[in-house]
A and B are shown apart, each in its own frame.
Chain A
Amino acid sequence: MTRRRISNILRKEWHVMSRDINNALLVTLAPLLIVGQAILFIWLVDRFGGETMVANPIFQTALEKLREVLPLVAGLTVGEQFQVLLLSQFNLYLLLIPTMIAISFATFSIVDEKLSGSLETLLVTPVRIWELLLGKALSEAVPALVITWVCAGVFILGVVGLGWGQLVSMVLTPSWFIFLFLVTLAVALLGFMLGAIGSSPGQRC
């Protein structure tokens, strides 16, 4: 019964989402801008500031750590090692995408329910509150996950396009995939819950 209720909430939320052009734009364009910004930043650092930054003691410590964790990079030049260091940060940077999508959807979803008066109706139906919140959270977590995976793919294509294709195998470590599949999902759910908390108590529309 619980699964059926949650899947009903999922279907209802996706139906509402699909009718809103602002949501569609937020989900598709904003994450791609984040990816573009990351690629541009890494390219600019590599093009104009790489040598200066590599000489910095902080980054030398980071490169030592990188060589310790990924012994394969020892065969690369220091400049390439620095590129691997920068590119390896992208899996963390990707977490901003599910966060952004989750919090926006949470706010939209709860506030829209309040404005239309359907929240009161929902709260007096047999659906339990945790089922309602979990259903809503999953309804945004699925698109957030898919978009994050697409963005990861676009990033890899961008890296290959910039001529750093030989470094990709050193960036795509098991940690990268754990971030992409597990941490992203956990962060998307957390973002929704926090967004729901932020838009629920004492903020009567």
Chain B
Amino acid sequence: MALVIILPVLALIGVQVTGLAWFTPLLTLILALGISLVDILVLGVAVGLFQQESIVVKWH
């Protein structure tokens, strides 16, 4: 799971250190907004998985 975040972070370092792109304030804000949206999506997925667990617990 850590690789899901670490590899993109390393890719971002690679992109910036090679001059392909530079994180201007606007681009950084867009990045923060994008990650926040992913946060909400992943929270939804996690809630779904935990609800499945809850059902299993209740059936026990």
Contact = CB atoms under 8 A, between A and B. Distances in A.
Range, interface on chain B: 35 or more
Interface stretch (A14-22, A162-170, A194-202): A194-202
Contact of A130 (B36, B47, B54): B47
Given A186-B32, A194-B5, A129 B24 contact: no
Given A130-B47, A178-B29, A183-B32, A89 B42 contact: no
Contacts of A100: 2
Contacts of B21: 65
B42 A193 contact: yes
Nearest to A188: B39
A133 interface: yes
Contacts of B16: 62, 88-89, 92
B43 A133 contact: yes
B35 A175 contact: no
Contact of A200 (B18, B23, B35, B46): B46
Interface string B6-30: 1001001100111101111101110
Given A63-B19, A178-B32, A190 B39 contact: yes
A189 B41 CA distance: 12
Max chain B C-beta neighbours (<10 A), residue from A64, A68, A93, A197 = A197
7 contacts: A59-B18, A103-B2, A123-B50, A175-B24, A175-B28, A190-B5, A193-B42
